[in-house]
Amino acid sequence: MSGNSGYRPRIAARTRQLRLRGATYEIHEWGETSQPTIIMLHGWGDCGGSFQFTVDALQGDWHVIAPDWRGFGDTSHNDGSYWFPDYLADLDALLDTLDVTGPCRLVGHSMGGNVAALFAGAFPERVAAFVNVEGFGLPDSDPEHAPTRLRKWLEAVRTRREHPGYDSLAPLVNRIRRQGAHITEERARYVAALWSAQASDHRWYLKADIAHRWPNPVLYRRAEARACWRRITARVLLVCGDDTEYREAMAAWHTADAGGDYPGSHCLSIENAGHMVHIEQPEALAAAIEGFFST
C-alpha cells in the first residue's frame, strides 16, 4: 500500500490471510516461492509491510514473508490483553502452515528480534540463521514494581480508552519521523498509510490494538531471556544503528570469553541509523542480510 506517499515499490507485495491459533493473520509476501525463503518479523507498533524498503533493496532473488503480528497491522485483535509467548507460538504455527522445510532464515526487528531470539533458543533445530536488528531485550525489572504494574494494568483493562485518531496523516507522519532522524518524508508517509486507516468520520486511526499500550502485568526477567539466547545454535548477525544505545553494549554480547549472550555471533553497526534501521537505511540492511545469508 503506497497511498499518496510518492514511494513506489520496486517489488510489489502480495497479501493473503492465514488462520493461526485463533487469529486471522495478514501475510505480506514478495518474490517467487521457488526462491530461498526469508521470514521477516516486525517490531512493536509496526507491521510487516514496512519491510518493503528492505525488500526493494535486495539484489538477489528471495522469497520474503512478513506477517503482521496479532493486534498489529491488518491482523485481527485479541479480545483482551496480549501475552508475549503467544508470538512465539504464532511463529511456530506460521512455519508449520507455510510448510517451511528445514531450518529457516529469520530477520527480526525490535520486538520481532526478541521473538525470534527466544524461538531460536527454544527450538534451535528450526532456525539456521538469524539476523537480529535492535531486538536485544529490555533492562531487568525490579520486583518492587509488580504491585504498581498490576494496578495500572487492571485500571487500563477497566477503562479501555481508544486512540483519539488524527485529522490527517500529517501528525502520524511527523511522529514516525521522530522515531528515526534518518527517516525520509516519503518513507514516513508510506509507513503511515500502512499503520492507519480512515474511518467513516474521516479521521485516521491506528490499526494497532490500543491494548498493546496497556502496562504489561508480567515483569521482564532478563535472566530467562539470556538462558534462551545461549541455547541458540543458528548463525547470528547482530545489527544496530550507530545512533542507538545498543552500539556500545553489542561488542560484549557476542564475545564468548566475556560471558556474552550471543557467543560466536557477528556484529554490525549501520551508519546514519537509529532504532528503525529497516526504514532509515534499508539498502545497508539489505546488503547485510544478503551477505550473511549467502555465506
Whether 178 has a pLDDT exceeding 90, the answer reads yes
Whether 256 has a pLDDT exceeding 50, the answer reads no
Whether 258 has a pLDDT exceeding 50, the answer reads no
pLDDT class of 257 with cuts at 50, 70, 90: very low
Checking phi first, is residue 134 left (phi over 0); if not, alpha (psi -120 to 50) or beta? left
Q: Is 128 helix (H, G, I), strand (E, B) or coil?
A: strand
Q: Give how far Cα 41 sits from Cα of 49, 51, 117, 224, 243, Å.
A: 10, 9, 11, 21, 22
Q: Decide: 240 and 254 in contact? Cβ < 8 Å.
A: no
Distance of alpha carbon 5 from the chain centroid? 22
Whether 294 has a pLDDT exceeding 70, the answer reads yes
The pairing of beta strand 235-241 with beta strand 127-133:
parallel
Residue 249: predicted pLDDT: 66
CA angle 129, 261, 39 (to 5 degrees): 25
Over residues 206-253, the pLDDT tens digits come to: 999 999 999 999 999 999 999 999 999 999 999 999 988 776 666 555
Residue 101: predicted pLDDT: 77
Nearest to 228 by CA among 260, 261, 267, 266: 261
Q: Provide Rg for the chain, Cα atoms.
A: 19
Q: Decide: 104 and 36 in contact? Cβ < 8 Å.
A: no
Domains of the chain (ranges; CATH) run 14-137+216-293 (3.40.50.1820)
Residue 187: predicted pLDDT: 97
For all residues of the chain together, what is the average pLDDT? 92
pTM score over 0.75? yes
State the average pLDDT over residues 168-197.
Answer: 96
- DSSP-derived secondary structure for 8-21: --SS--EEEEEEET
State the average pLDDT over residues 71-87.
Answer: 95
- The rounded distance, in Å, linking the Cα atoms of 203 and 165 is 6
